[in-house]
Structure 1
Amino acid sequence: MLRSLYPTRHNSARLAACAVALALVLPAVAGPAFARASGTERTLKAVDTDHDGTIDLAEAQAAAGKVFDAAETDKDGSVDAKELKGRLSKKDLKAADTDSDGTLDRKEYLALVESRFKAADPEGDGKLDAKELKTPAGRSLLQLLK
């Protein structure tokens, strides 16, 4: 009886097989909470400075301000399509460019962030959770925040 409690070559092989099977099955059973965080969830975590699980407009604009500063490499006070590196289509850049100079200054960029934030917030509660950020409108906002 006691002998069966000690690992043997046979028991070790069974234990290893069970561990492999568990590693393969557990993520599917446990669902997304077990899996690695998605890009949306990582961005949410990075932008959510008060750690309440949501992004409010102030947090979004603070993150966007950092993105603007990093993108604004030629230090002329605005970003162009090249500096934005695909964050905006030419059509969206033109629509956000209120002074029609072909670039976005900080005020225009933050106004675009606010517009996209509101589009991603259908409830109008002023907060975006992971589910809202995974919508097309939410993903559009996230492009400006990372």
Structure 2
Amino acid sequence: MSLRVSSSFAALVLAATALGTVPVLAKPMSGAAAIKAIDTDNDGTIDLKEVQAVAAQTFARLEKDADGTLDAKELKGRLSKAGLKDADPDNDGTVDQKEYLAAVEARFKAADPDGDGTLDAKELKSPAGKALLALIK
């Protein structure tokens, strides 16, 4: 049975790769590994569009109860209590996809000190870069 599951999983990964879908980051990784995983245009950097594509997949994967929002439990520590409050302008204790992507964008901008609209491996190694990666893993 486990071999069948493994084969199915491998087929799913191969199909996703063939379709060009953005991979989901499963665990913390180095800046260079994150670039390799997220950089769909292969320019050696990641831009906000590439990051938001991964973030949208992360949101969908985390959103288990089909209510269209993520609560603290579903976020699994990706946002602190203060971070959740900042990302939740309507103060309902959850973030919808729009709010989640806004939080991702804020972290992206914080990780982009030169303001060029892209992040390289060095920028992803910074505390702000690591915070961004933690949100989209």
> By the TM > 0.5 criterion, same fold?
yes
Name the SS for the 2:91 alignment partner: coil
1:132 Cα offset (Å) = 0.2
How many Å separate the matches in 2 of 1:133 and 1:43?
8
Aligned mate of 1:65, from 56, 59, 62: 56
Residue type at the aligned position of 1:128: L
Aligned mate of 2:100, from 84, 92, 109: 109
How many Å separate the matches in 1 of 2:103 and 2:93?
15
Higher relative contact order (CA 8 A, sep 6+): 2
Runs (5+) with no aligned partner, structure 2: 1-28
Kindly provide the CA deviation profile for residues 108-136 of structure 1, in whole angstroms up to 9, marking residues without a partner as x: 00000111111110111000000000001
Kindly provide the CA deviation profile for residues 53-104 of structure 1, in whole angstroms up to 9, marking residues without a partner as x: 1110000100100000000010100001111111111110011101100000
Number of residue-to-residue matches in the alignment: 109
Corresponding residue for residue 111 of structure 2: 120
How many Å separate the matches in 1 of 2:37 and 2:116?
21
Root-mean-square deviation (Å): 1.0
Residue type at the aligned position of 2:79: L
How many Å separate the matches in 2 of 1:40 and 1:127?
13
Q: What is the TM-score with the length of structure 2 in the denominator? A: 0.76
Q: What is the TM-score with the length of structure 1 in the denominator? A: 0.72
1:43 Cα offset (Å) = 2.1
State which drifts further: 113-122 or 39-48.
39-48
Please state if 1:140 is matched with 2:131.
yes
How many Å separate the matches in 1 of 2:88 and 2:50?
23
Name the SS for the 1:117 alignment partner: helix
Whose helix proportion is higher, 1 or 2?
A: 1
Aligned mate of 2:35, from 26, 37, 44: 44
Runs (5+) with no aligned partner, structure 1: 1-37
1:52 Cα offset (Å) = 1.1
Write the mapping of 1:53-92 to structure 2, written as runs, cut at 5 A.
53-92=44-83
